[in-house]
Amino acid sequence: MSNMNDLRVKIFADGADKSSILEHAAKSYISGFTTNPTLMRKAGISDYEGFSRDILTHISDRPISFEVFSDDFDEMFEQARKIASWGSNVYVKVPITDTKGASIIPLLRKLAPEGIKLNVTAIFTEKQIQETAEALANAAPSYISVFAGRIADAGQDPLPTMRRALEIMKPYPQQELIWASPRELLNVVQADEIGCHIITVTNDILAKLGGIGKDLDQFSLETVQMFRNDALAAGFTI
């Protein structure tokens, strides 16, 4: 891969800072957006619906995900319907379980006939992928979000799980696989190489996208120059 223009995987900006979201919206290579309650809390957002509706006045041409936050399945259902009503480009994020570990699959089967675009999140296992794909077999366009980065945090290679997910989802063309929680720029290349549909990318990794295909000899030289310049700037002596 010579540069980021060769990427086939869709880049979704992951965050809840309004200024960053609008900055990314001006970039043609950003294909969508994802948020979650944790990111919103970190961004200091207190009015969940107000923030979401405000963002949607600026972004109507690309998908954006907003998450339910109830821990009760009936209330999740109502939250999902309400969030979906905010815009035709909205995908409703629902976690794969509640906080006690009860599976979301019965709720997915209930939501599927509603025509709501879903983003099933916090998925880690092949069993969860299989059950989700089957539950959404006849649903509207949906995302299955596998937390590859957190699988790696557990000391396990996420690539076999991601490849298997693509196989499981193949019979359902309206479903797209998200490589979630990437940890480094290499993950973008890996997602692209295996044919993953989408990768969610935070600001720190987005800033590195231009480095794809960089000449390693030049990179080596720049690193040496950085060490030398920092030593001089610090006034080090021996």
199, β-bridge pairs: 11, 179
Answer for the pair 108, 140: CB distance below 8 angstroms, yes or no.
no
Place of tokens 């997602």: 191
Instruction: Give dist(CA 128, CA 151) in Å, integer.
Output: 14
Opening angle at CA 97, ends 96 and 103, nearest 5 = 95
The rounded radius of gyration (Å) of the Cα atoms in the chain is 20
Phi, psi of 105 (to 5 degrees): -55, -45
Which residues belong to the active site?
Answer: 93
Phi, psi of 59 (to 5 degrees): -125, 105
Among 110, 165, 166, 96, smallest CA distance to 138 is for 110
* Segment holding 13, helix H or strand E: strand 10-14
Phi, psi of 65 (to 5 degrees): -105, 135
Question: What is the sign of the dihedral through the CA atoms of 144, 137, 86 and 64?
Answer: positive
> Exposed, middle or buried, 221 (CB in 10 Å: 0-12/13-18/19+)?
exposed
Instruction: Give dist(CA 205, CA 227) in Å, integer.
Output: 22
